[in-house]
Amino acid sequence: MIFFRRSLKRELSKVTELLKVDRGSLWREKQKNRFRVLTYQIEYNLFRNPMDMFVFLSIILREIFRYAPNLVVLPRFFTNLFLSLLPFSKRKIRDNPFSLVEKYKDVIFEEYAEILKIFSSICISGIFGGTLKGSSEYAIFAIDEEFIISDKDVFTFNVDDVKIAYVKPELLKDFKVARKLQEAGVRMIITGESFVDEFNIWKAKSGVWARSQSVGIFGVNSVMVGRYFGKNHKGISFISAPSIFTKNNDGFVAKLNEPEKRGIVVADLYLDSLEEFLAKQPKTYKKYRSFT
Amino acid sequence: MNVKFYIGPQVGIYEFDDVDIGISWYENVPVFKANMIILGTEKVVHVFFEDVEEIVEDSAILDYRGVAFAVGTSNDVIYPEFFHYAKSNRAKFVVIYEKVEDPSWFMYSKHRAWVHSQESGLYVFSVVDFNGNIKYGVYSPYEFSDKNPGIIIEGGAPHILEVEL
């Protein structure tokens, strides 16, 4: 573990030095009215040792950095990958993922905090670091080197004056939670809905994509695919918006087409346009509020 | 209870005398022979049933032989709360009327109708005036549609379908 942390810091300091050259131009590129979101769809893989994990994270970091995003969203359950850092066999980890998480979650958080702080200090405004599933699910977030953990079903935070919420996919099957968040000023919902065994695009659209259309909000679905927790998970990562804001009027600002593969999804979101759109909408729904 | 619907323009309808409910855009007085006729615009809906005409502004919950249903117009039907209101009043289907001019707003109205059908679990019959062309859509919860897209029909052509409510 100590070896891992030292080598990570050493390598990242090199990367930071290299990136300092480009940093000015990248930050200038960040216009005030655009909010760049990046999400990474990965395949679940238990690493053989911490070094493999480190190589993997370095690759992610380098890829992410090229885009200079305001917010990076890592997939739901991403933090469970950090079980690889524990000195147990793969089989033991695979057989008891949740009990190991409960036992060693403090160690995992400590390590992850180090990594996320380094990530966020380099270039990115905020990182949603995925979730860790044990007996309950912990959402993890880092902004300006601050590390936050929450075990709530709905978890809100601010990045560059944009109010964002992480919501469990089960709560996005109807509009009620999304409506409350939208009225509270939340403009983006992050979730991670994957499907066991069978993937159907229509079912995938009934989550945060549907809330984008019905409530008028940006949505980010970030999933980890592959076999984990004893089941084969499929899904697509995407960034959704009310369809009038999307290029093909399909409601997807950006999405991956392969439900089983790794990939990167990046989109520039224009919050001013969304505010304008929401302000113009007649608020006739309020007369039906007593029924909801 | 099985209900036979006709959704489409008011032409060539005499062959379909056994239709229970006919749904169309309001152009002129009805020439249908359906048991119940629902004609509307983006502001008002006229419902003709057993020689009685009911005029609905905005939205209402109505009844067809024991089956409750909702009708709604532009400003109300863009929100999921309206469909939840319909469902909580035991409606089995919803008829919505909208008018749009921009092609991207037309797509948006279709997306919304599909979404509202999925989350409320109701059949949604949508009639949209898109720059003078009347477009029809029928959306259902996806388990009730062939190959599960949740879309039964979309387009300008008339359609007859029988639904168990």
pLDDT in tens, B129-144: 999 999 999 999 988 8
What pTM was estimated for this model as a whole? 0.90
Give the model's confidence band at B33: pLDDT under 50 very low, under 70 low, under 90 confident, else very high. Answer: confident
By Cβ distance, the residue of B76, B112, B142 closest to A213 is B112
Q: Which of A27-31, A191-195, B6-10 has the highest mean pLDDT?
A: A191-195
pLDDT-derived band at A24, boundaries 50, 70, 90 = very low
Q: Considering only residues 112 to 141 of chain B, which have any Cβ-Cβ distance to chain A shorter than 8 Å?
A: 112, 115-116, 118-119
Q: Compute the nearest-CA separation of A180 from chain B (Å).
A: 12
CA dist A254 and A237 (Å) reads: 9
Cβ pair B107:A243 closer than 8 A: yes
Average pLDDT of chain B?
Answer: 90
CA distance B6 to B16: 9
Q: What is the pLDDT of residue A26?
A: 46
Å between A211 CA and nearest CA of chain B: 8
Q: CA geometry: angle at B62 spanning A214 and B46, to 5°?
A: 90
* Minimum distance, in Å, between the CA of residue A185 and any CA atom of chain B: 18
- CA–CA separation, A174 and B41 (whole Å): 28
Chain B residues in contact with A285 (beta carbon < 8 A): 76, 79-82
Query: ipTM score of the complex?
Result: 0.92
More confident residue, B56 or A145: B56
In three-state secondary structure terms, B5 is strand
How far apart CA B70 and CA B72 sit, in angstroms, is: 7
A215 touching B (Cβ < 8 Å): yes
* Contacting residues for B12 by C-beta, under 8 A, at least 6 apart: none
Mark B44-66 as b/e (b = at least 16 C-beta within 10 Å).
Answer: ebbbbbeeeeeebebbbbbebee
Residue A15: φ, ψ to 5°: -60, -45
Residue A193 reports pLDDT greater than 50 = yes
pLDDT of residue B116: 95
Q: Which pLDDT does position A86 carry in this prediction?
A: 79
Most confident of A40-54, A81-95, A250-264: A250-264
Check B119 against A174: CB less than 8 A apart.
Answer: yes
Q: Give the chain A residue whose CA is nearest to the CA of B83.
A: A288
d(C-alpha B147, C-alpha B32), whole Å: 32
* E strands, chain A, in order: 34-43, 71-73, 126-133, 137-143, 146-150, 154-159, 162-167, 188-191, 195-196, 218-221, 224-228, 231-234, 238-240, 252-255, 263-270
A62-117 tens-digit pLDDT: 788 778 788 899 999 988 888 877 777 778 887 888 888 888 888 888 888 877 77
> Which of chain A's residues have a Cβ under 8 Å away from the Cβ of B81?
175, 179, 285, 288-289, 291-292
pLDDT digits (tens, 9 = 90+) for A141-171: 888 778 889 999 999 998 888 999 999 999 9
Smallest Cβ–Cβ distance between A251 and the set B76, B102, B111 belongs to B111
Query: Where does the pLDDT of residue A123 fall: very low under 50, low under 70, confident under 90, or very high at 90 and above?
Result: low
- pLDDT cut 70: percent of chain A above it: 87
- Cα separation of the two ends of chain A: 51
Tell me how close the Cα of B83 comes to any Cα of chain A, in angstroms: 9
Which of B59, B29, B32 lies closest to B43, judged by CA?
Answer: B59
pLDDT on residue A287: 85
Chain A, chain B: beta-carbon pairs less than 8 Å apart? 80
